[in-house]
Chain A
Amino acid sequence: MTLPAILPARGGIAARAIDWMMRHPAMFTFLMVLPIVLWLGIVYIGSLIALLMQSFFSIDEFSGVVKQEFTLSTYAELLRPANFDIILRTILMAASVTLASAAIAFPIAYFAARYAKGKWKALFYIGVMLPLWSSYLVKVYAWKLVLAKEGILTWVFEKLHLTWLLDGLLALPVVGGNSLSVSYLGTFIVFVYIWLPYMIIPVQAALERVPGAMMEAASDLGANPGQSFRMVLFPLALPGVIAGSIFTFSLTLGDYIIPQIIGSGRLFIGQAVYVQQGTAGNIPLAAAFTVVPIVIMGVYLWGARKMGAFDAL
């Protein structure tokens, strides 16, 4: 018996639908993309626009009712010293957390990308991801204990006869405080700890894509290790660092739990949003505060692009 050159079409609606899609790839793509577009367009972008519109309303100071008229007075309120301090404080914290995360993450990611193989690589992934599998609140409260005046860190400094160093750090103006758990330093440490994996993973992925021959070429052409890093490795890994910094920066901008549990008690943007839309009932001001990180991230990404951070992609 000879086999036919063309197999007969299979019956059933599903098989016919598949045949039809094979002949109309554009329709197939359209059907695949449709739910995502609907979700992003209506649920996500839609609610964002609704929020944005709220920020152009204002609240009636006497009745506490939202006046649905276009005004920029809510944004003007953001510039009041008390509110502007919140914004400035949050941006500074987000920037320092991002810089510190990048500095700590880079060597870890470099080691994982260039040297770790097989089970060491598995160990690296587990080590980096493990903290993400446990509750965020548990970790933050654990850090509160670690950083407390009676905590283990104080004890370690004492045993190492470095109490003077800790006291010196806490005596610093602004960032210091009574103990690490009630200072900006403490907030900073916990932010860095919590967001570090979000920096390590993209940096590691970017470094993984830099061919070994690229580093050999730099060395071959006479670049010492420092020059190779500055002129070749870092620029090629920059998209990964930027991707990581988008996480660490925006997550710090929006977080309202860490500074509430660990820190000096002064508000960050996230807390301000929480307070304004909860206790104060000032939805327009909460919305205006929410717009701030969006604008900052927009400016940040635009600047990164201008500086050629994505050129190597």
Chain B
Amino acid sequence: MTEAVSFRGVSRYFGHVRAVDGVDLDIRDGEFFAMLGPSGSGKTTCLRLIAGFEQPTGGEIRIYGEQAAGVPPYRRNVNTVFQSYALFPHMNVRDNVAFGLRVKGTGKAERHKAAEEALAMVELAGFGDRRAGELSGGQRQRVALARALVNKPKVLLLDEPLGALDLKLREQMQEELRSLQRALGLTFVFVTHDQDEALSMADRVAVFADGKMQQVGTAEDIYRRPNTRFVADFVGSSNVLPADFVGAGPNGRWASLRPEDIRLDPLGHEAVVTSRAYHGRVVKLGLKLGAQHLNALMPATEDLPQPGEKVRVGWDRARVHMMESGA
């Protein structure tokens, strides 16, 4: 079966800056795929390469098996939801949504009907006559989504679409996007710097840093079995420790230990509490074991030590993950 999008050794340089550097990537048909990374990691450039706003400096991009190099965005059956939404300010909501059909020459009645249906799908039925400027952030986001979906794209690209929304709205939109994707069976490619968002929404996640893809896998793969120190640290702020420290292997290799896997243990190692921050459900403790600093997350119900106190902590050896790469 053909992959929705496949990258083979794809690079994109801007002058001397390697925005994307030798990425191999396969996005499967009908999956919700997240590209996760800090700003400047190359994830957005990858998205723009799929959309056609950028052309690769090297390598090969295929969309459903077809060579995409040199094909302009308007000839790709791929649509984007922009971070800024990029709604046309001189058109009302209906004309915004119907734009893609209008340029393809669809008749007025037909495209207005399709626009109304797309608006109903994002729960904005009856908003057609409003101007983009009269809508709230969440509503604009939905219009941008409807405007892309009305074209029935093969792949829908979402560039940090929830970044500008407040927390509650964001959680609601995450759920809606997920169910929309399932209902339509479309391939969604989602760019975000928020690891919670990526892990909770996506079927598979690719983690980017410095223009390179660090790891790709299911949310659990990425979280439980990070490949590199970067992934361990970026996804869930894991403790990255020398392997011999956790007693898990020879020196020179690195191990990841999740903060939530550290617990109070009367038979464990002695540590000094250096900081304590209350987060509601959990308390974040800074610990010092000898020369090694550790972050620990513990349930807030426990009677936890104060900074400066000594405690004994331990962890389940099985929870320690050895990383393959030393980098």
A interface residues, Cβ below 8 angstroms from B: 211, 213-214, 216-224, 227, 231-232, 235-236, 308, 311-312
Majority SS of interface residues in chain A?
Answer: helix
Asked if A216 contacts B73 (CB within 8 A), the reply is yes
Asked if A218 contacts B99 (CB within 8 A), the reply is yes
Shortest distance in angstroms between A307's beta carbon and chain B's nearest beta carbon? 12
Of the listed residues A218, A221, A236, A312, the one surrounded by the most CB atoms of chain B closer than 10 A to its CB is A221
Shortest distance in angstroms between A231's beta carbon and chain B's nearest beta carbon? 7
Name the interface size band of chain B.
20 to 34
11 contacts between A and B (CB under 8 A): A214-B88, A218-B99, A218-B103, A219-B72, A219-B73, A220-B52, A220-B148, A221-B79, A222-B74, A222-B100, A223-B103
* Known A219-B74, A222-B74, A312-B90; contact A213-B84, beta-carbon cutoff 8 A: yes
Contacts of B82 in A (CB 8 A): 213, 216-217
Of the listed residues A213, A220, A223, A235, the one surrounded by the most CB atoms of chain B closer than 10 A to its CB is A220
Contacts of A232 in B (CB 8 A): 88
Instruction: Kindly state whether residue B86 has any CB partner on chain A within 8 Å.
Output: yes
Instruction: Kindly state whether residue B204 has any CB partner on chain A within 8 Å.
Output: no
Asked if A231 contacts B80 (CB within 8 A), the reply is no
Contacts of B100 in A (CB 8 A): 221-222
Shortest distance in angstroms between A94's beta carbon and chain B's nearest beta carbon? 27
Instruction: Kindly state whether residue B245 has any CB partner on chain A within 8 Å.
Output: no
Asked if A220 contacts B79 (CB within 8 A), the reply is yes
Asked if B90 contacts A311 (CB within 8 A), the reply is yes
Asked if A221 contacts B84 (CB within 8 A), the reply is no
**Extra 14 A-B pairs, beta carbons < 8 Å, given A211-B86, A220-B79:** A213-B84, A216-B82, A217-B82, A217-B87, A219-B72, A219-B74, A220-B148, A221-B99, A221-B147, A222-B104, A223-B99, A235-B90, A236-B89, A311-B90
Shortest distance in angstroms between B316's beta carbon and chain A's nearest beta carbon? 48
Contacts of A218 in B (CB 8 A): 88, 99, 103
Contacts of B72 in A (CB 8 A): 219
* Bound complex: CA A219 to CA B73 (Å): 6
Contacts of A308 in B (CB 8 A): 90
* Identity of the chain A residue whose Cβ is nearest the Cβ of B73 in the assembled complex: A219
Partner of B103, one of A214, A231, A311, A312: A231
Shortest distance in angstroms between B269's beta carbon and chain A's nearest beta carbon? 47
Partner of A217, one of B52, B78, B86, B104: B86
Instruction: Kindly state whether residue B192 has any CB partner on chain A within 8 Å.
Output: no
Shortest distance in angstroms between B16's beta carbon and chain A's nearest beta carbon? 17
Shortest distance in angstroms between A224's beta carbon and chain B's nearest beta carbon? 5
Contacts of A211 in B (CB 8 A): 84, 86
Contacts of B73 in A (CB 8 A): 216, 219-220
Instruction: Kindly state whether residue B151 has any CB partner on chain A within 8 Å.
Output: yes
Instruction: Kindly state whether residue B13 has any CB partner on chain A within 8 Å.
Output: no
* Bound complex: CA A218 to CA B79 (Å): 10
Asked if B90 contacts A221 (CB within 8 A), the reply is no
* Bound complex: CA A222 to CA B51 (Å): 11
Instruction: Kindly state whether residue B53 has any CB partner on chain A within 8 Å.
Output: yes
* Bound complex: CA A211 to CA B78 (Å): 21
Asked if B90 contacts A220 (CB within 8 A), the reply is no
Shortest distance in angstroms between B313's beta carbon and chain A's nearest beta carbon? 44
Contacts of A222 in B (CB 8 A): 74, 100, 103-104, 151
* Known A216-B53, A219-B72, A222-B104; contact A231-B86, beta-carbon cutoff 8 A: no
Contacts of A216 in B (CB 8 A): 51, 53, 73, 80, 82, 86
Q: For chain B residues 63-113, which have a beta carbon within 8 Å of chain A?
A: 72-74, 78-80, 82-84, 86-90, 99-100, 102-104
Shortest distance in angstroms between B12's beta carbon and chain A's nearest beta carbon? 16
Asked if B80 contacts A220 (CB within 8 A), the reply is yes
Contacts of A213 in B (CB 8 A): 82-84, 86
* Bound complex: CA A260 to CA B98 (Å): 53
Asked if B99 contacts A231 (CB within 8 A), the reply is yes
* Known A213-B86, A232-B88; contact A220-B51, beta-carbon cutoff 8 A: yes
* Bound complex: CA A231 to CA B52 (Å): 20
